[in-house]
Amino acid sequence: MPSSPSDLTVLQVLPALVSGGVERGTLEIAEAIIRAGGRALVASAGGPLVAPLEALGARHITLPLRSKSPLGILRNAGALAGLVRAEGVRILHARSRAPAWSALLAAGRTGAHFVTTYHGTYNENFPGKRLYNSVMARGERVIAISSFIAGHIRERHGTGPERIRVIPRGVDPALFDPAAVAPARLEALRAAWQVLPGRPVILLPARLTRWKGQGVLVEAMTQVPEAVALLVGGGNEAFRAALRARIATLGLTDRVHLVGHAEDMPAALLLADIVVHASTDPEAFGRTVIEAQAMARPVIAADLGAPRETVQQGVTGWRVTPGDPAALAAALRAALEMPAEARAAIGARARAHVMTRYTTRAMQDATLDVYRELA
């Protein structure tokens, strides 16, 4: 086993390097491994994040790890085992189910340690799905991205607490820093999204899909006069069309806007008076909640899943009944009626809370500690 950090060689496996929390976490951990003097390898089917990964000093190996077929999983297991032997890999870290099965088999053949990160609740909508999902609970160490997910792992798979490590997702405090956003960035967004100065701004950042709750906010806006709501994010085009139709039916076209993807999320969050999380299914973590709080924005979140951990009721924000437009509207009105200084105090407490518990560096260091436990 390695005798120093420089001997630590970690191979992370996932389906592809496109975009999303799993992929961002992969790059963040690769960066931490390299900073600690180790070697970071990533195997996936490739994608636009390969170049940024390699710019960090990591090595990418292209394998068809999207495959869910038994034959594909077996072939990938053989390829991973060969890679483990050739590169002296000590830790195989799996971040998704099909690649995890290949990595589990490869670890068994080579003696490499097997670590998983359990990123979601994973549905069980057909026979055998629980068995398929269970690979994410079979690591020597199972990283849960929230206490909510840790409880889910214990209940669903019977995994002992001695193998589970709760490591929340993190935010970059230099990138998500209100003081680092120049006024010109705010004005550029205000102009692009046609937000008039002086109107309260409510922002919901999430991909467009029904369970993220954009429809709940649209309904709530009928009870929140004067304010403007910005739905930030791309996604399902049929759902976008349905939202537009509902917005028109409710007479909200001048106050609710679907603005699409935002390249400058720190500025987008800072533009808001209130940030909303309205998911109707439990979030495994919900990184946009801590990003908003890092920007000192008060958050109103649905009271389920991991936001119960990240939003302190009445201290750093508020939690409301999921899927209830009236409850969301009441919370929005109460927040907007508060003196600006009181909202600013909540935002300041929110940022302080995130800086204490939910930074990228804290997540990286805790993951390195897991590797060192095993290696």
Whole-angstrom distance, CA of residue 323 vs CA of residue 317: 18
- Going by DSSP bridges, is the β-strand pair 164-166/141-144 parallel, antiparallel, or unpaired? parallel
CA angle 360, 361, 363 (to 5 degrees): 65
Q: In the chain, how long is the greatest CA-to-CA distance?
A: 67
* pLDDT at residue 273, rounded to an integer: 97
Do 42 and 26 form a contact (C-beta atoms < 8 A)? yes
pTM equals 0.91
Burial of 107 (0-12, 13-18, 19+ CB in 10 A): buried
Whole-angstrom distance, CA of residue 117 vs CA of residue 63: 20
pLDDT in tens, the chain (375 residues): 344 444 799 999 999 999 888 999 999 999 999 999 999 999 999 999 999 999 999 999 999 999 999 999 999 999 999 999 999 999 999 999 999 999 999 999 999 999 999 998 888 878 788 899 999 999 999 999 999 999 999 999 999 999 999 999 999 999 999 999 999 999 999 999 999 888 999 999 999 999 999 999 999 999 999 999 999 998 889 999 999 999 999 999 999 999 999 999 999 999 999 999 999 999 999 999 999 999 999 999 999 999 999 999 999 999 999 999 999 999 999 999 999 999 999 999 999 999 999 999 999 999 999 999 998
Residue 341: which residues within 8 A CB-CB, separation 6 or more? none
* pLDDT at residue 285, rounded to an integer: 95
- CATH annotation of 178-357: 3.40.50.2000
Same fold, 5-170+359-374 and 178-357: yes
Class of domain 5-170+359-374 (CATH, top level): alpha beta
DSSP 3-state assignment of 301? strand
Residue labelled with tokens 């205000």 = 190
Secondary structure (DSSP) of 2-52: -SSGGG-EEEEE-S--SSSHHHHHHHHHHHHHHHTT-EEEEEES--TTHHH
DSSP 3-state assignment of 296? coil
**Which one, of 204, 288, 287, 276, lies nearest residue 243 by Cα?**
204
Whole-angstrom distance, CA of residue 267 vs CA of residue 176: 9
Domain spans in the chain, listed from the N-terminal domain onward: 5-170+359-374, 178-357
* pLDDT at residue 3, rounded to an integer: 41
Q: Is the dihedral of CA 160, 165, 166, 169 positive or negative?
A: negative
Q: Of how many residues is the chain composed? A: 375
Question: Residue 46 has which token pair?
Answer: 């490739």
